[in-house]
Structures are given as structure tokens and as C-alpha cells.
A and B are shown apart, each in its own frame.
Chain A
Amino acid sequence: MHEEDSVETGVSRRKLLGAAGLAALTAGGVAAYSTADRDDPTEAASAQPDPLALPVAFEGEHQAGIVTPAQDRMYFVALDVTTDDRDELIGLLKDWTDAARRMTQGNDVGELGAVGGPPLSPPEDTGEALGLPPSNLTLTIGFGRSLFVNTDGKTRFGLDGQLPDRLIEMPSFSGDRLRPEISDGDIAIQACANDPQVAVHAVRNLVRIAFGRASVKYSQMGFGRTSSTSTAQVTPRNLLGFKDGTANIKAEETSTVDEFVWVADGDGPDWLVGGSYLVARKIDMRIETWDRESLEGQEVIIGRAKGSGGPLSGGDEFDEIDFSAQNEDGEPAIAEKSHVRLAHPDFNDGAQILRRGYNFVDGSNGLGQLSAGLFFIAYQRDPESQFVRIQRSLAGSTNDLLNEYIVHIGSGLWACPPGVGPDGYWGDTLFA
């Protein structure tokens, strides 16, 4: 009877519209959006609805949006908390959770939503997602080091002893050209969806809820997921034209996920168990010079064939890379300084990360060049031994050959708390 309840109260406007479009679901009503259906592509397909339009469960042991199959669009926002009051911050996290719970399930923000409120009052929900399906929307929150301590090293919000040792200050890497105004931030929220309007709607409404308590530092739109996080997904291409994330951690590899993604007991403060660390790097690509590089040159730099994605040591995309293989000139088939070699676990003490990045194009730079690149996102259990370890291998003009064509201009690291329960809120384990 959920559906009828929704009609009477006007609460579930978008779910109602969504359900009307998904006639095949009437038997189960809203319950047909259950996790079980979504996890089984065959069953979902037989029930007709587009799996890319369905909701993703908001609650769970871990936050959604990490091992969730990567959606096609992203809107990422970093905010600074402007209040000094712990209770106000908790209130904000509760309000956000309430809105996130609603939006991820395809509902308007607020009891009265976009069009149910009094005529002279601004609507609770901004309305641009009316009639759009949930589109796999996930909202994932992370807390930056600056939420715990201010620049003088003083504890904020009474969070004494809660700053995880692993939430390090990101070291500088050779070649970095980081811009402070698009780096760090007290709180990060990653919104991913298969419809950009759904992702933008989510961030816009969360930002609106935050006025007076938190303020946007920067935000970034991304398109065309550059990594697959599930074996069910094909490997997408980044703006260099190469398949990206072939060797990424996949959701189905649960022991690898446990080893490299989720924070475990004993890793640090208890509040973060079941969470993960998010690294974001805005990487500008010198697209025009890259495009002038020969095909052979591009393939040597990456270490893979551009068409198939197969390693230059031979074989197809998912075949093992043979780093000892030599070409006919007796040179290593996978160049010593190729991207794929330097980034590979074999050369990084076995370190792996779950990548979840997106392409971006921020228009042009005024010289007729695209302001484009990769908004790199990686999740891991320990940034120092994972992202930092790998990036040390890559960074610098004498390392990764690709560095001639890319430059890191933004950076951030956040600790993402575990998932929330039915009555929980984002960060409840931290503020308990």
C-alpha cells in the first residue's frame, strides 16, 4: 500500500511518477525496487525496468557509491563547515541524511517537496528532478582532516582523539601544481547517477540545506566514468582515448575489496570501521599535445594497445601483463617508464586501489585549448600505503612517461564513515 500512501500525502512525488512509468512493477509496488532485484541483472531485465534507472539502497554496512557499479555521471562537491557549533554540525548531517535518503530513492527533499508547499513559500525541493527516475543515484560523504583540526592544530567540534592517523596530510609529489582553492575541504560529497540532472539536483539541494552551516569550496562535474567497478561493466575510455581501469578492484572480488577498500577493526578509531578513504585528484590533460603524439608513442607511454586495451606484452585486455617480455629490438615490451608498469601492484609492494574517476571538460582555456582531464577518485583502506605509494612511483618528470601530458591541479583526502542504519545519520559513529 506504499504507493497509495504516497498519493494521499503527496510525499513521494517522484517515486509516484517513476512507478507510473514502470508499469511492470505494480505487483510489488515500491518494494519491487528491492536490492535483490537490482543485484540480479537477469531478473531485473525480465521485469522490464531499465536497471540504470533504479534506486540504489541508501542504508547498509558500507556507504553506497564506492563499490556500487560506477554510474555514468558525477557531481562532486567539497564544503567547509562555517559554524563552530558541534550541535549545528550534527543537525546539518542529520538534515543531509534525511534529504539523501529521500533523493536516492527518487523522492523530493522535504515533506512537501517541490510543488506541494504553500504558494508563497519557496519550495522545499528545487524541482528539476521531478519526473526523473532515481537513476542509481548514490551520495557518499567523507570528512577531511580540516574537520578535525584547524590550521593551528586545535581540535574542532570536540573531536579529540577521533582524527584517524591514516587521514594524513597529503604529501606533495614532484610535478604537482596544486591550486588551494580546488583542494581539500572539511567535507566532500560525491554524487553519482546515470542522469547528470539527478546528480546536480542532489548536490544543489544538499548545498541549499547547508547555507549558514557549511559553504561550498569548489565543485566538479564529471562524465563518462573512467573506471569499471564491476565485472558486469565494460571498461570505459578516458579522454586520452585509452581503456582505463582494466585492472581495477571490482566489487565482486570481495576478499580484495576487504583487503584494500574497507577500513577494518584495529586500523584506527572505531568510528571509521566499515568506512574507506577517498582520494580525489583533479588532473589536467594537455589534450592537444597528446593528440599530436603518434599511435605507437601513445601506446608505449601507456603500455597497452589503444584499440583492444591488451598489454603490449601480448594478449587481450584482461590477459596477464608480462613485464619481462621483450620486443624484437630486445627492449622491454612494456617500457620501463610506461604508466601501466609504474602503476602496477607488482612495482608498488602489491598496493591496489579502487578507482572511480570521471572525465571532465570545464570549457576551454581562452587559448582555444580544452580545459579537460580526469577527476581521479580512488577508495582505499590506507592512503599512505596505497595511493601515496603508487603516486610516488608515478610522479616526477623522470618517471611516468605520461607526466609530459598531465598535471595534478587539485587534491583532497577524506575519511568516509561506514554506512548508516535505518535510524542513523551520516557520521553518527563519529559524533555518538
Chain B
Amino acid sequence: MKRTLVGVGIAAAALTTLSACADDPAESGDLTVKASDSSCEVSATELEAGPQTFKVTNNGSKVTEFYVYAEGDRIMGEVENIGPGLSRDLVVDLAKGTYEGACKPGMIGDGIRQTITVTGEAAKPLSDSEELKAAAASYERYVESQTAALIEKTEEFVDAVKAGKVDEAKKLFPIARTYWERIEPVAEIFGDLDPITDGREPDAIAEGVDFTGWHRIEKQLWVENNTEGMDKYADQLLDNVKEVVKLSKEQPLTALQLAQGSKGLLDEVATGKITGEEDEFSHTDLWDFKANIEGSQAAIAALRPVLEKQDPDLVKQLDTEFAALDKELNQYQDPTTGDWKFYDELSKDQIKKLSDAVAALSEPISKVASVVAASA
């Protein structure tokens, strides 16, 4: 269940993160966040409106993340991948309103949350077109955070493959893919890169091209249980991932593409994940499933101020259906390890319930693009 915030105005949500960089020197007056495996202490929770620096220190044993959310889990800023013993800074400009700070030890779940109340100047109301730009900018921040982690995790995966570490590679495969699947609509607009990175074997055969990318290596790992001949595919995968990331920065999505992407991610789930087709060798489909849903939710969160203004009933319906789907899906995740059940461990009845929940969400999601377009 996503938590909801009380009393957040629409206008409170529209300012931008300045930067999120580990090298920024911490100034006096900075906020500290002490993160452990079971706690998340923010040094002050009553703040004045304006730019804030959160200095996040991970005292726990698990890799953690820190998020600042506005209503509906709209990401105002985040830092990912903070290893044990490390510190990173998050700078975020907050207008008057209520927010939540969340540490996510192990990088899973809704995180350990604290309410942050900001007083002072309210954000200035935006015009429709400014609001759409703000939505696109907000999603760009999300993509930025995901692409950084995507490259890091893909590098780890590729290293493991090239070192012949089969078990480690198998463990990293679904985790690295999580970051890919969250931002898949971004990859899909670069037509040529998606098939060679995330293509499936029958399509490669049909088109008479070499079978490459994630699923080529997946097949070797799970079917042959080795990494023989995978070096070139591993190198190529990393190159392609980096290329997608580079292009995504040059060509950020528009708000409308974002709306269409939120639907596209659910379509991915309905056609690929719910059928167990995508990860046919590893059966790690639920990792992808969850990532697609998170990506879709991030897109909707970025669009939230626009949607709130144009069609508040739709927002309510989306919140309800996202929560219902989360509830249905999250029961298959091990809360300690973060691992998901394998697709072939699910019963038909369980798959049907997931499918119902996806369908229930897909109907309202399919209306978002039209609402966004009407706002333009």
C-alpha cells in the first residue's frame, strides 16, 4: 500500500531538484539523514520553503536509497545506490507543503518513511503548458536516477558474465533488468536499440539476425549453465545500454510521450510478463513485472499535478488500482531478500488474479494520454 499524504496542495509540487551529487560539499544548515537497515532519521522535519540539502549516510549493512516524495509518491528527488558506510547528498527545492522522506534499505519496498512539513512560500501556480513541462522535467529526474543505477548494475552483471561467475550473473540478471524495465518506454523510442538489447529469440530467428542482448545471455546462463561465448554479447549489451542512456539524455520524453509510456509499460506487463514469455529461461518475470509497474507509476506521479487539475476522479481511480495491484503483486516478494517468486512457481489462479489487477489499472491508464493532450 502506498501511503497518502494529507493536505498537499497541487501547487506545492512543481519545483525542481537542483542537483543530486555526491561531491557537493555539505554546508552548515544541511539536513542529515541517518539510514540504517531498520531506521531512517532525518535531522529536522519542519522546514522552510527553499532549496534543501539532505546529507544521507548509510550506517546499515544493505545498499540503500533516499527519496523525497510529494503526494502520490511523486519523486521530488532521490539518491540511489548508497553503499554501506557511504554518504551522498540530495539537493531538492521544496515549496510549502507536506512531503515524505523515505530510506529504502535493500532498495526494496515502500521504504521507511518520515513526514516532512515545509512552511513558507507556496509554489507559484503554473500555466497548463508550464505544468506539462514540469511533469516532463520531473520524469526526467526519475530517468536520470534510474539510468545511473542501470549502468552500474549492468556493469556488475557484465563483469560477472565475463568472469564466468554463473551464480553471481544469475543473481544480478533480474536486478540489472529492473532499471531497464522501469524506463523501457525511453528505450523503445530509439527503435533499433530495443530489439538488439531486449529482443527475443524467435524474432531474431525470424528476421535472420544474431540473437543478442539480455535474453541471449539469459539463455546461456539458465539453459547451458555457463557463460561460454558470452563475452562479446556482454560487451555489446553494456555498449547498447550506455547508448540508450546517452540518447535519453539528449531526447527527454514529452509529457504526452510520458502518458503513452505509462500505458505502454502496462501493455508490456499484460502481453509479456503475465504470460511468462519475457524471461522464458530464468522465469524472473516478476522482477520485470514490478519494475514496469514502478515505471508506470513514476510516469503517472510526474503527471499528477496535470491530472489533478483536469480529472481528479481519474487520479483517485489510478491511486486505487495501483494500490490494489501492488497488494496483489507484493505478496510474491520475499521482504528480507527482495527476491520475487519465479513465474513457474505461480498457480494459474494467482496469475489470473494478477492479470485481473493489471486489466483493472490498464483501463483508467488508457485515458491519461487524452487528459494530458487536452491540457496542452
Contact = CB atoms under 8 A, between A and B. Distances in A.
Interface residues of B, number: 16
Given A212-B321, A215-B352, A122 B359 contact: no
Contact of B363 (A82, A119, A211): A211
Contact of A118 (B356, B362, B370): B370
Interface in A79-138: 82, 118-122
B360 A121 contact: no
B367 interface: yes
B356 A82 contact: yes
A215 B356 contact: yes
A208 interface: yes
A121 B363 contact: no
Interface in A197-239: 208, 211-213, 215
Interface in B362-376: 362-363, 366-367, 369-370, 372-374
B9 to A, nearest CB: 28
Given A212-B321, A215-B352, A215-B356, A121 B369 contact: yes
Contacts of B367: 121-122
A120 B369 contact: yes
A208 B352 CA distance: 16
Where chain B touches its partner, the secondary structure class is helix
Given A212-B321, A215-B352, A122 B360 contact: no
Interface residues of A, number: 11
Contacts of A211: 356, 359-360, 362-363
A122 B363 CA distance: 9
Contacts of A82: 356, 360
A121 B370 contact: yes
A286 B150 CA distance: 57
Contacts of B256: 120
A211 B360 CA distance: 5
A120 B373 CA distance: 7
A122 B123 CA distance: 34
Taking each of A82, A208, A213, which has the highest tally of chain B beta carbons within 10 Å of its own beta carbon?
A82
A122 B366 contact: yes
Interface string B337-361: 0000000000000001000100111
Interface in A166-223: 208, 211-213, 215
Contacts of B370: 118, 120-121
B359 A212 contact: yes
27 contacts: A82-B356, A82-B360, A118-B370, A118-B373, A119-B373, A120-B369, A120-B373, A121-B366, A121-B367, A121-B369, A121-B370, A122-B366, A208-B363, A211-B356, A211-B359, A211-B360, A211-B362, A211-B363, A212-B321, A212-B359, A212-B360, A212-B361, A212-B363, A213-B360, A215-B352, A215-B356, A215-B359
In the A-B complex, the 8 residue pairs with the smallest Cβ-Cβ separation, listed nearest first, are A212-B360, A121-B370, A120-B370, A211-B359, A215-B356, A120-B373, A122-B366, A120-B369
Interface of A: 82, 118-122, 208, 211-213, 215
Given A120-B256, A122-B367, A208-B363, 10 more contacts: A119-B373, A120-B372, A121-B367, A211-B356, A211-B359, A212-B321, A212-B363, A213-B360, A215-B352, A215-B356
